[in-house]
Amino acid sequence: MLQRLTSGDKLRVELKQGKTAEGHLISSTDTTLTIEVGKVTRDINQSDVKKIYLVFGKSTGKTVLKGTAIGAGTGAVFGAGLGEDCSKSSGVCLSRGGLAILGAALFAIPGAIIGLIVGTSKNNHQLIYEA
């Protein structure tokens, strides 16, 4: 069925019954596909398969982490730029360090949301078989 793939490739298999299985390829023949789903080995007959996708690319978690880091870094720089030198102040003072921390915390949230949107919108699979 899929002789051009190598063992260990990550696949998403859509079955004709409407279910989906995602796992790593163990082997394939002209009639059967064997994948490992979690810690369970599953044999799938070709007659049950609707579509097979090769899954690749980064996980959504990685894009969320990158977005969080970029947002936090931007917020820290922005906050530090707005902060004041409090060494000579006797009244209320918003220090550079305090505003940097606040800016990092506030900007990390939208950064994470943007990372989530980018991660889920990426086309990280390729159709390689259709019945």
CB atoms within 10 A of CB 126: 11
- Does pLDDT of 65 surpass 60? yes
Q: What is the 3-state secondary structure (H, E, C) of 56-75?
A: CCCCHHHHHHHHHHHHHHHH
Give the pLDDT confidence score for residue 47 in this predicted structure.
Answer: 92
What average pLDDT does this structure show over 26-36?
Answer: 90
- Residues composing the chain: 131
Give the chain's end-to-end CA distance (angstroms, integer): 11
Higher confidence at residue 115 or residue 60?
Answer: 115
Among 56, 59, 57, 47, CA closest to 12: 56
Higher confidence at residue 108 or residue 61?
Answer: 108
Instruction: Tell me the whole-structure pTM to 2 decimals.
Output: 0.55
Give the pLDDT confidence score for residue 43 in this predicted structure.
Answer: 93
Mean of pLDDT over the chain: 87
Domains and CATH numbers, the chain: 10-55 (2.30.30.100), 60-121 (no CATH)
Give the pLDDT confidence score for residue 3 in this predicted structure.
Answer: 64
